[in-house]
Amino acid sequence: MNERKQHIMKFLDSGMRFDSRKTDEYRSIVVDESPNKNAEGFARVKIGETDVMVGVKLAIDKPYPDKPNEGTMMVGAELSPLASPEFESGPPGNEAVELARVVDRGIRESNSIDQKKLCIEEGEKCWLVFVDIAPLNDDGNLFDAAALAAAVALKNARFPKVEDGKVNYKELTEKKLPLSKLPVSVTVHKLGNHLLVDPTPEEEEAADARLTVAVIDGKLCAMQKGGEEAITTEETEKMVDLAIRKSKELLKYI
């Protein structure tokens, strides 16, 4: 273990983190719901200095052949090198793909969007929901910031007008997406014996493993483990408990 990590652990043993937070404390969370003129749904979330924008675009397309009476959703993430010296130009790498898929999983598996209500004409036309994640500044914990922004963006998204079967993006209707409750995502990081939420980049790098948990109504709907080390069953239970507890706090931001 290198000297930097040793020091982080020493602080954690005293119950403190480098920025004086407790292990189960989030940095300040700011949700900006000011609309984006061109997106059908939009939200910008700041957790500490981590700054993520999520935009929702709606389009009409053909449904999947195996689900002819349902709409579709696609979640994408672009880690622009604007947001961090660690990001590189080019097509989405593993990190971007994982971010998109983890956020996708939370929304999809919670059945928040009633896909059947997105059907326009069975087998022929349905609504396609694009959710695009664009971080502006990565100061750790992109997973939770992106998931929260995605939930808020979906919540305030509105259908554009459809004229003669074509979408008129210039005019939005008052109609919102067919949504039931949205999930809350909490990522727990394990450092030695300590579990923490909302890591800084330093803490993310020092972490042994992480577990992202999407919670809806106190139940789990999606999970993703990351990191190089293994976790025990007991640790998993503790991480899930922590995630469920913190999810209640995050719920008020949606």
Partner 1 sequence: MGKLLVNDKQVVVPGEIIAEGMDFIPTAGTYRDKEQVIASKLGLVNIDGRLIKLIPLTGKYMPKKGDTVIGKVIDITLNGWRLDINSAYSAMLILKDATSQFIARGADLTRYFSFGDCLVATIINVTSQNLVDLTMKGPGLRKLPEGRIITVSPSKVPRIIGKQGSMVSMIKDATGCRITVGQNGVIWLQGEPRSEMVAVETIRKIEAEAHIQGLTERIQKYLEKKKESKENGLQEKA
Partner 2 sequence: MVYKKRLDGRKFDETRKIEAKTGVIPRADGSAMFRIGQTLAYAAVYGPRELHPKFLQDPAKGVLRCKYNMMPFSGAGDRVRPGTSRRSKEISMVTEKALLPSVELEDFPNAVVDVFIELPQTDSGTRCAGICAASMALADAGIVMKDLVSAVAVGKVDDKVLVDMTYDEESYDGEVADIPVAMMPRTEQITLLQMDGEITKEGLMEALELAKKALKKIYEVQKNAIKQKYELK
* Footprint of partner 2 (CB under 8 A): 36-39, 42, 49, 51, 53, 55-57, 59, 76, 78, 80-85, 89, 91-92, 130, 132, 134, 136-139, 169-170
Within 13 Å of residue 71, how many CA atoms lie on the same side as its CB?
24
Q: Is 7 in the site for partner 1 (CB under 8 A)?
A: yes
Q: Which residues pair with 212 in a beta bridge?
A: 187, 224
Q: Which stretch binds partner 1 (CB under 8 A): 13-21, 49-57, 187-195, 232-240?
A: 13-21
* Interacting span for partner 1 (CB under 8 A) from 3-11, 91-99, 161-169, 220-228: 3-11
Bridge partner residues of 32 (DSSP): 44
In the bound state with partner 1, the residue whose beta carbon lies nearer, of 2 and 34, is 2
Which segments of the chain are extended strands (E)? 29-32, 41-47, 50-61, 72-77, 119-121, 125-137, 158-163, 166-176, 184-191, 194-197, 209-216, 219-226
Residue 15 Cβ, how far from partner 1 at the closest point, in Å? 9
β-partners of residue 195 are: 190
Using alpha carbons, select from 214, 155, 150, 213 the residue that is nearest to residue 181.
155
Instruction: Report in angstroms how near the CB of residue 102 gets to partner 1 at its nearest.
Output: 28
Confirm or reject binding of residue 18 to partner 1 (CB under 8 A): yes
Q: Is residue 6 a contact residue for partner 1 (CB under 8 A)?
A: yes
Where in 20-79 is the site for partner 1 (CB under 8 A)?
20
